[in-house]
């Protein structure tokens, strides 16, 4: 029991030193490569901690090798930008000039629901006030509001923006929340020269009861 306790403390200190050597930036802005290294460090440290038959020096040697690789790759990524892009990827523009880039969403395997959720998390409930939304290499979403965002008059909202169509599919439960039916929605689509909901990437009724509609072809 005492041996396991002491081994755990030693390995904890070894992992802590390893993360400190990697630098704060690697932890705060973790890309795919950093995540792999971090998971491997956790695995390498846990194995000798659980199995007393494995000498601790093996675990410490593995940690040293992983930190060396991380440091080397970080140095090479700074030295050679192309290598950095291959390992870390590059930011993806999900909303470009107020329009959702559907191809980028599919490429990054992000649904419209997830995109709207991330916008709300950052305090942006109305997508029409977003000029750019950029998915960074560490998974964070950077948002550039449109110039009209701050000039929006402070009035009482009728309701929060409600999604009525996502990726061509009508969200019936949201229509019920508004006490509206499919005919009402279709009439509004036809007024925008849209005959089929399948043509629509996203349709939102905003807090002022105005429609924000983007077709898939856009």
Q: Supply the DSSP string of 154-176, one letter for each residue.
A: ----SS--EEEEETTEE-HHHHH
The answer to whether residue 25 scores a pLDDT higher than 80 is no
* Region 82-105 average pLDDT: 83
**217: its two tokens:** 């072809």
CA angle 106, 108, 110 (to 5 degrees): 70
User: For residue 127, how many other CB atoms are within 10 A of its CB?
Assistant: 22
Tokens of 151: 């000039």
73 vs 98: which has the higher pLDDT: 98
Q: 3-state class of 162 per DSSP? A: strand
Residue 51: what are its φ and ψ, rounded to 5°? Answer: -120, 110
How much is the average pLDDT of 181-206? 92
Domain annotation for the chain: domains and CATH numbers: 2-87 (no CATH), 91-152 (3.30.240.20), 155-218 (3.30.240.20)
**How much is the pLDDT for 24?**
46
Return the closest-CA partner of residue 160 out of 147, 177, 146: 177
pLDDT one-digit tens code per residue, 45-84: 777 776 777 787 877 888 888 778 778 877 887 777 777 6
């Amino acid at each position: 029991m005492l041996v396991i306790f002491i081994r755990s403390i030693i390995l904890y200190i070894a992992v802590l030193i390893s993360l400190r050597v990697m630098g704060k930036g690697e932890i705060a802005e973790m890309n795919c490569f950093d995540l792999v290294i971090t998971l491997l460090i956790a695995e390498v440290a846990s194995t000798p901690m659980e199995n007393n038959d494995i000498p601790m020096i093996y675990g410490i040697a593995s940690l040293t090798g992983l930190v060396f690789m991380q440091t080397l790759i970080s140095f090479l990524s700074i030295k050679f930008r192309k290598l950095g892009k291959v390992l870390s990827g590059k930011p993806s523009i999900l909303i470009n000039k107020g329009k959702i880039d559907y191809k980028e969403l599919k490429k990054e395997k992000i649904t419209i629901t997830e995109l709207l959720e991330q916008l709300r998390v950052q305090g942006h409930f109305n997508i029409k006030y977003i000029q750019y939304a950029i998915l960074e290499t560490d998974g964070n979403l950077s948002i550039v509001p449109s110039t009209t965002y701050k000039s929006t008059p402070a009035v009482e909202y009728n309701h929060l923006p409600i999604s009525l169509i996502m990726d061509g599919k009508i969200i019936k439960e949201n229509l019920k929340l508004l006490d509206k039916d499919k005919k009402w929605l279709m009439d509004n689509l036809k007024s925008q020269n849209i005959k089929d909901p399948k043509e629509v990437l996203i349709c939102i009724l905003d807090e002022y009861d105005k429609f924000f509609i983007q077709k898939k072809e856009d």
